[in-house]
Amino acid sequence: MTPTILASVQIADFTEDTWWIWVIKAVFIILYLILSVILALWVERRGLGRMQSRLGPNRVGPLGFGQAFADALKLIIKEDIWLDGADKVMYFLAPVVSAACAFMLMAVLPMGPQVSLFGHSTPLQLADSPVAILFVLAVAALGEYGLVFGGWSTRSTLPLYGAVRSATQMISYELAMGLSLVTVFLTAGSMSTSAIVDSQAGLWNCITLFPAFCVYIISMFGETNRLPFDLPEAEGELVAGHTTEYSSMKFAWYYLSEYINMLNVSMIATTVFLGGWRAGPIVTWIYSLWGGDPNVGWVPMLWFVLKTWVFMFFMIWTRATLLRMRYDHFMKLGWKVLIPTALTWLVCVMVIQGVSAFTDLSRRSLLLAIAIVFLIALVAIWFFGGNDEEEDDASGQPGFVRPEEEFDPMAGGFPVPPMPGQSLPPSPRAQRRDVSSSSRAAVSNIKEADRD
């Protein structure tokens, strides 16, 4: 047989699209994202309230649904502050860049198959390209510049810390996310989003590429700065990170882009791992009982929205469940766990692609077998790979200082935290307390000796 690794898959057909159809689709995307953000705010606040045994918003509108509109009105009429020492151009453009990139990404994500719109056959997708996944990764990376510019342009300490954290976080978790998506378009034979959905007509990629799916799920939290990975805007350390010096609508653009990015990563996960707009096998079987097809017409848009909101609710649920990670553990997870795992799985997928190209073995069966072995190996490494605390205390670690070495927190002229193996000297109050305790113990010993 011919050694073909990448299959030729056609992208969506836009030949009958006109300029007004493009306008309708673009307006729909903007309205859909804004209304979805309003719904996400309500679901998150009410959901977190239920999960944390409190009421949540319940005054503005029925069941508190109008609270998001009240918050938007408050931000619109709030005083718009401009810092004197800030770079005015970057200070203004930073939230605009974040919001613009957030709105752009949905343009290449298919919400359904070919439908008839005012007599024209058109896909439920604004645009597609043979390299649409690269467009997704490029726009997602470009959106991070809004956070970096926002922290740098204010000329303020805490926003700059948040911007630096955001940049390092993006580099770490964008690499892992990109590597997980590479395996998807290797198996699909195309980087077109519509072609990737068509390639999942049988089994979804979340089954055959389960390790890549797990890496993507973890990476999307780091990509959107959500708990437990919200280090760039940790309120206990950085007040609000890069948004600390922003107010009114400039802050609102950042706030809006964060929730749109949550929708974006959820829609990408739906498209590349959960079959996109295609219904699952159970739904297809139920429809087949009366001769229907759930994958034609406008109904598939419903499956796409439902799958997207499964991921949205999972992100909200995670916020109510997990605590914020320590920054060094966060970076260790990205560089020592996610990236090596994604690279190893990528090598496995490439080997399977090569083997299936020159033999008659089923590619999906090989992928399932390798995925099971891969997960068993990861679990074994997790449970029997050693103790992290011992690794932290190893003398080969950079910056390790033996416990007996004296530590002076003011040696550099300003206070610094202790390195691993060091401990802070006792405070003056503790020293006085220890001296008092020793004096009382000595006096009591003398009195007991006199009585004896």
Residue ranges per structural domain of the chain:
19-280+288-381
For the segment 119-138, the average pLDDT, to the nearest whole number, is 89
Return d(Cα 266, Cα 283) in angstroms, integer: 21
Q: What's phi and psi for 233, nearest 5 deg?
A: -135, 40
Find the range with the poorest average confidence among 30-39, 78-87, 203-212, 434-443. 434-443
pTM of the model: 0.79
Mean pLDDT of all residues in 104-120: 89
User: Lowest mean pLDDT: which of 31-45, 276-290, 306-320, 386-400?
Assistant: 386-400
Highest mean pLDDT among 77-86, 124-133, 146-155: 124-133
The one-letter amino acid at 69? F
Residue 392 has pLDDT above 70, yes or no: no
Residue 113: phi and psi, rounded to 5, are -85, -165
Q: Are 162 and 236 in contact (CB under 8 A)?
A: no
Is it the case that residue 441 has pLDDT exceeding 60?
A: yes
- Which pLDDT score is estimated for 395? 47
Average pLDDT of the segment spanning 130-142: 89
The pLDDT of residue 280 is 80
Q: Which of 365, 367, 368 is closest to 349 using CA atoms? A: 367
Is 287 buried (19+), middle (13-18) or exposed (0-12) by CB count in 10 A? middle
Name the average pLDDT for the chain: 81
Numbers of helices and strands, H then E, in the chain = 17, 2
Q: Which of 14-18, 239-243, 411-415 has the lowest mean pLDDT?
A: 411-415
Q: Which residue has the tokens 């956070």?
A: 147
pLDDT at 209: 87
Per-residue pLDDT for 215 more than 70? Answer: yes
363 within 8 A of 5, measured Cβ to Cβ: no
Q: What is the mean pLDDT of residues 89-101?
A: 88
SS3 224: coil
In the block, tokens 């690279």 appear at: 343
User: On the CB side of 59, how many CA atoms lie within 13 Å of its CA?
Assistant: 2
- Say whether pLDDT at 250 is over 50: yes
SS (H, E, C) 116-152: EECCEEEEECCCCCCCHHHHHHHHHHHHHHHHHHHHH
- Which pLDDT score, from 0 to 100, does residue 217 have? 92
Beta bridge pairs of residue 112:
124
Most confident range (mean pLDDT) of 34-48, 50-64, 318-332, 356-370 is 34-48
**What local confidence, expressed as pLDDT, does residue 79 receive?**
81
In tens, the pLDDT along 37-54 reads 999 999 999 988 888 888
374 or 29, higher pLDDT: 29
Query: Exposed/middle/buried for 208, CB within 10 Å: 0-12, 13-18, 19+?
Result: buried
Q: In this model, does residue 391 exceed pLDDT 50? A: no
Vertex 83 angle, CA 82 and 86, to 5°: 115
Residue bearing the bigger pLDDT, 181 or 419: 181
For residue 394, what pLDDT is reported? 46
Indicate if the pLDDT at residue 2 is higher than 50: no
Percent over 90 (pLDDT), the chain: 17
Quick one: pLDDT at residue 353? 78
Q: Which residue has the higher pLDDT, 99 or 366?
A: 99
Of 102, 109, 112, 111, the closest CA to residue 132 belongs to 109
Q: Is the pLDDT of residue 99 over 70?
A: yes
What pLDDT shows up at residue 8? 45
**Helix or strand (DSSP H, E) at 123:** strand 120-124
Q: Are 106 and 33 in contact (CB under 8 A)?
A: yes
What pLDDT is recorded for position 57? 86
